[in-house]
Structure 1
Amino acid sequence: MNSENEQINFWKSKFGDEYTLRNSGDWDNFYKETWGVTRTELNEEFLAEIDKDSKILEVGCNRANQLNILSKGGFSNLWGVEINRSALEIARENKSFNLVEGSGFDIPFKDNFFEVVFTSGVLIHIAPENLNKIIDEIYRTSNNYIWGFEYFSEECQEIDYRGHSNKLWKNNFKESFLNRYPSLKVVKEKKIKYLANDNVDMMYLLKK
């Protein structure tokens, strides 16, 4: 089994189902308790210049927590790709979203189809040898902006993930995009420290 299939099968499995169940509840409150800022506030800070009717895709949308917050913030043209069927069933309870079963390694949309393509805690679960493949797909399907919120480290660093190896990495994902596509421009970036420890995440907005 190659590592790309290993990652996909892992998140399609019971482990992915359990992850979906853990990620319920008030997502803004979770952000406030974890980082001291709500996701709504971060969205407003990073997407202030994005029209509310812009076509936005989340790669790895899970149960659509992020899409629901964007919807509450006035964004009306929201799309998601997700490989876990249990998560997708929950996400589809909001009939206003355009959701498809699929992988970030092969996003089932045309080139430049979306104004914004984003991930939130997804690239951290991509094996380093496969990272460029999902970066290429995000770049390909974005007409304008690439947006991310991921664990941050200056160098790629594997972390044990609930007793599993080869499933979680910290990295400088902003630089991964810039190294792959040097023409990308950094619109905004922000390091966000956890309240409970010294770990740091990074949110970044890049423009083609």
Structure 2
Amino acid sequence: MVRSVERPKPVVLPALCKGCGRCIDACPRGCITIGHDVNQDSGLVPVLIDLDVCNGCGVCLSACPEPYGLSTDGYELEDPRHLFGERPGARTASRADRSPERIPLGAREPLILKGNHAAAIGALLAGCRHVFGYPITPSTEGAELMAALLPKLDGVFLQAVSEVATINHMYGCGGAGLPCLTFTSSPGFSLMLEG
């Protein structure tokens, strides 16, 4: 007599799932779909699993590039403040100031734009208000867009004298806890290593 063993079903950890869709392509039962709501912790859209259709084969776990995006262990993420205490100088918004837990994604037309513009807009949406350039900054379109938009957003675009100066500005900005960026490429990055 052959007994079937109940295999553990996958669990999506929404704060860690990047919504890349590899598990969707890998699932032989088609029980994984792209989500509809933005996760407030990650800013990404995690996948959804129909556990009634899932047979627990585990192929999705193998396909997931995020080590803990999908798991068979159902556990809650622990708040680092409870493990390590408050960070010195940490600023936290009250629950009333935060957005609702779920942000529905409405149907939208595809947005077509240059990759450099997408990088600039993504950085702005992520809260970056300090951008540093250098004399031969690649991705000129992105740098020019940031130089035009940052003053309107109370931000700073600084054209430094060299790659080394740029990376040192970024060290200072990062040390102050502020998001910052520069557009660079391999040669510029190599020169920044001198900083």
Q: What is the TM-score normalised by the length of structure 2?
A: 0.27
Give the structure with higher Rg (CA). Answer: 2
Quick check: which one's strand share is greater? Answer: 1
Quick check: which one's helix share is greater? Answer: 1
Q: What is the TM-score normalised by the length of structure 1?
A: 0.26
